[in-house]
Amino acid sequence: MRLCTLVAFLAIAGATGSASAQVGTLFRRAQVIDGTGAPAYVADVRVRAGLIESIGDLTPVPGERVVEAGGLVLAPGFIDTHSHHDGGIFERPDALAAVSQGITTIVVGQDGGSRFPLAEFFARLEDSPVAVNVASYVGHGRLRSEVLGDDYRRAATASETDLMRVLLRRELEAGALGLSTGLEYDPGIYSETEEVISLARETARQGGRYISHMRSEDRDLWAAVEEIIEIGREARLPVQISHMKMAMKSLWGQADRLVARLEEARAEGVDITADIYPYEYWQSTMTVLFPEREYTREAATFALEELAPPEGLLIARFEPNPSYVGKTLAEIAALRGVDAVTAYLDLIAESQAMRRETGRGGESVIGTSMAPEDIVRLLQWRHTNVSSDGGLAGRHPRGFGAFTRVLGQYVREDGHLGMVEAVHKMTGLTAAHMGMADRGVIRPGAPADLVLFDREVVIDRATSENPNAISAGIIGVWVNGEEVFFHGEVTGARPGQVIRRR
């Protein structure tokens, strides 16, 4: 441990918990990276009553907690624009996976799925607060399910779309940031573009935004990109690509082409942005690689040759046979004495059969599909912010390590981003992409969402084998002025607030 880190450790150890929010906290001689993209500077920062009170050369006052932060970075708390950390949040209110990597605000309701009605979810969060701030989109898939029920494998009628619009308006009035879609998933995959545009127009009328797991991230990527651009153009609202990626071998090396197309769209007046997580592998369902939902040998062969090889397809969940979790498709095929294509199709069939018979049968896979060079290029785009796409206790290490992986590997080790730029992509830029005017910056009057970290040490430690390992180098995390994480442990404070669209 470096001397400056030890000094900060000892200072913080003297006073933890919610008491600091009562008397105030003074960070001394911190390397402030304020989230705006401005250069770092050394200053004292005073926090009182949940807000940043002042910045400069400050003198401690009686009763104030002092954190000697010399040599450490003090940054705005990170904002995760594509989070699933709300799953189990009331059972794990300390949100260890999020706060241990510096996240202070999670944006949920992703991929077309959201809590419903949001007013009840928000009310529960206010009655039983958690450690992080929570904002949410309203899910298009959830609206489809409410209106179409089990009869969702078709385009919605005009009257059904009208009903969805009514529900959408109610959710937006409850404070949803906007509309999210998961157009690669059921039931959103069966929607027509005009249905989505109609809902996006309603969202725009309410001052909301649009975020999308696009219709394809592989074989039909370019058509999917044109679709989200069209939605932004026709509905006249900001649109964001979720977890932007090029998840097919024949697409590798074309990141420049994608960035160029997005820049063209912006030049045409479409406010399009993106988020990304720093891993070559994703997590989703086994069926997501079959866009036509036709489980043929031809389709499965294409998926395993072009999208995710058998040795790179790791089982994260498989209720018909939980012993398969942690094994690759290649390993399971060997255990069964069949080829990988047969094993893949059999696993899908077994999951679906169990679901029909019992209502269970959940499955999930982690697939290696991206090229490192493309991730770097897409991350470097000036309108890309960092996200995790992770959960509180998932099998994918992104749930515990996405943000610290960027700071450690992509900034310090590989030099793909500067530290100021990386922090901007986790804070101020992120807040702008979500329409959050008062988060993601260190300035007087802003909420005191803060992370103190050692730039020489910070790194992710979560792996596919140990996906819930906490990161190194995150010294402390404050949410609305209260410390929620300290040197490897949660404090028990639950100061998180609901963030509603203004």
Q: How far apart are CA 478 and CA 462, in angstroms?
A: 22
Which pLDDT does position 200 carry in this prediction?
A: 98
Phi and psi, residue 460, nearest 5°: -80, 150
Q: How far apart are CA 274 and CA 441, in angstroms?
A: 20
Q: Using alpha carbons, select from 464, 462, 491, 497 the residue that is nearest to residue 475.
A: 491
Which pLDDT does position 23 carry in this prediction?
A: 79
For the chain, 502 residues long, give each residue's pLDDT as a single digit of tens: 443 443 444 444 444 444 445 579 999 999 999 999 999 999 999 999 999 999 999 999 999 999 999 999 999 999 999 999 999 999 999 999 999 999 999 999 999 999 999 999 999 999 999 999 999 999 999 999 999 999 999 999 999 999 999 999 999 999 999 999 999 999 999 999 999 999 999 999 999 999 999 999 999 999 999 999 999 999 999 999 999 999 999 999 999 999 999 999 999 999 999 999 999 999 999 999 999 999 999 999 999 999 999 999 999 999 999 999 999 999 999 999 999 999 999 999 999 999 999 999 999 999 999 999 999 999 999 999 999 999 999 999 999 999 999 999 999 999 999 999 999 999 999 999 999 989 999 999 999 999 999 999 999 999 999 999 999 999 999 999 999 999 999 999 999 999 999 8
Q: CA dist 208 to 52, 111, 244, 415, Å? A: 28, 16, 21, 36
Instruction: Mention every residue, 6+ apart, whose C-beta is less than 8 A from residue 442.
Output: 32, 33, 34, 35, 45, 52, 55, 74, 75, 76, 450
Which pLDDT does position 493 carry in this prediction?
A: 98
Which pLDDT does position 502 carry in this prediction?
A: 82
Which pLDDT does position 313 carry in this prediction?
A: 97
Which pLDDT does position 271 carry in this prediction?
A: 98
Report whether 73 contacts 40 (CB < 8 A).
yes
- Could you tell me the pTM of the whole model? 0.94
Report whether 324 contacts 365 (CB < 8 A).
no
Beta strand 450-453 with 474-479: parallel, antiparallel or unpaired?
A: antiparallel
Name beta bridge partners: 304: none
Query: What domains does the chain contain, in order, with CATH numbers?
Result: 78-282+381-424 (3.20.20.140), 286-368 (no CATH)
Q: Name the packing angle between helices 140-148 and 158-173 (round to 10°).
A: 130
